[in-house]
Amino acid sequence: VVISLVEAYDSYLVMASTGTSGCISQGSLGLAISTWALGQMGFSVLNLVFAPWFQHQVWKQIMKDAQEPGLVVVEGSKQKLDKKVVQGAFKTVFLTDMSVLFYFFAMLASCVWSWQGAAWSCTGDAATHAYNAHWWGLCMFWVAFLYSSFWYCCSFCASSVELSQPISSYGAQASVRTTAGYFP
């Protein structure tokens, strides 16, 4: 989230900078720097929207999977879900949710778009902010790539989840929402 906010801010500063008319692209896009910065800002907003959406989808899958008998461990008054349930939910959403597929292609486009930001030859503040927005865009791509890879492949990334309410209270809400066609 922080990376995307900084990327959006630097993109905004590129567009707000005076003297961007002298910026020359050495790349193949042939766009004005303000257009490139607007695209960069769009990708950063997509990252900001997708992160909580993905977390929400994984949580819904965890609650759906946790309804199966034997997956909730009761320790005294606390109920816990095993980390295998958490990682399994991540894998299910990662491999079957169409929004993840869309985001995957958007991240590839974002990486190429950010890479093109290195091709700008500017002076003054516009140069600094364009370089920063380019760099933050590439960082966001690699953070998302590494985050997904580690969560998918490494079981130590997932931890057990301690539930604040009995699992039955989560399941009742999940089944009402999915049967009503409600997808928050």
**Structure confidence by residue, pLDDT tens digits, 90-108:** 999 999 999 999 999 999 9
List beta partners, residue 81.
Answer: 72, 161
| pLDDT of the residue at 170 | 64
The more confident residue out of 84 and 49 is 49
Sorted by sequence, the CB contacts under 8 Å of residue 87 that are 6+ apart come out as: 151, 155, 157, 158
| pLDDT of the residue at 6 | 92
| pLDDT of the residue at 21 | 65
Compute, in degrees rounded to 10, the torsion defined by CA atoms 170, 174, 177, 182. 110
Q: What percent of the chain has pLDDT over 90?
A: 30
Average confidence (pLDDT) over 18-32: 67
Evaluate whether 44 touches 4 at the Cβ level (below 8 Å).
yes
Evaluate whether 73 touches 82 at the Cβ level (below 8 Å).
yes
